[in-house]
Amino acid sequence: MGGGKKHIDRSDFLKGRLEGALSDEPMKMFSSWYQEASEKNCADPHAMIISTVDDGKPSSRIVYMRNLMEEGFVFYTNYESRKGTQIMSNPHVSALFYWDCAERQVRVEGKVEKVDPQLSDDYFNGRPRISQIGAWASNQSSRIESREELEERVAHFEKKFPDIVPRPPHWGGFILIPEYVEFWQGRLGRLHDRICFEKKEKNNWDIFRIAP
């Protein structure tokens, strides 16, 4: 890059404030924040960045939270994908929700488990047919020679399943069960509010504030 230094425009945070914890349980507080983000029409409020670790090297990608349960956050994927194999090798992951319209973030750290197969079946059966076929056609994260190769596999499974498309055995849901949750509210002068929940034992959380 040539020329002089270029500075990225700064903007301050003026859309909200957070005076202490709003709930004694993080999932209740998350549900409230998520509902507010949805009502404010934040872009993709269910999008979350999932970070996994393999051999000490982090890897991140955006996935969609498809179920919000009392126990945690559910998302679906190919179990044989890069994220799937990394999770099976090391179930400790982190997740990040960011809602620009509310100047809020939620950081989650915890362990991931497979959901009950019936939950995966129910979700898969409600997907559009092309997405169901895609779950069979795509060997997610593996190398392919061309787009044509992928489209040929789609055509193959379209013929194989002319009516009902069953859920592939390698595809299903994971649930992220939180052990640490941080609620971040942007504030003026970068003096942000950060309220944290750290699990001590089942249904017992240490709640504290940390400096911005």
For residue 166, the 8-state DSSP code is P
Give me the sign of the Cα torsion angle 205, 47, 211, 189.
negative
- Poorest-confidence range of 16-25, 79-88, 147-156? 16-25
Helix, coil or strand: residue 111: strand
**pLDDT digits over 23-82, tens only?**
889 999 999 999 999 999 999 999 999 999 998 899 999 999 999 999 999 999 999 999
pLDDT of residue 1: 46
pLDDT at 55: 87
What is the number of alpha carbons within 13 Å of residue 91 lying toward its C-beta? 12
Number of other residues whose CB lies within 10 A of the CB of residue 133? 20
Q: What is the pTM of this model?
A: 0.87
pLDDT computed for residue 188 by the predictor: 85
Specify the pairing of strand 204-209 against strand 171-185: unpaired
pLDDT reading at 127 higher than 70: yes
Domains assigned to the chain: 26-209 (2.30.110.10)
Structure letter (DSSP) for residue 33: H
pLDDT in tens, 166-205: 999 999 999 999 999 999 999 888 788 999 999 998 778 9
Catalytic residue among 17, 61, 129, 190: 190
CA distance 173 to 182: 24
CA distance 124 to 121: 5
Mean pLDDT within 84-106: 96
Query: Are the C-beta atoms of residues 171 and 124 closer than 8 Å to each other?
Result: yes
Q: Is 143 a catalytic residue?
A: no
Distance CA 87, CA 99 (A): 26
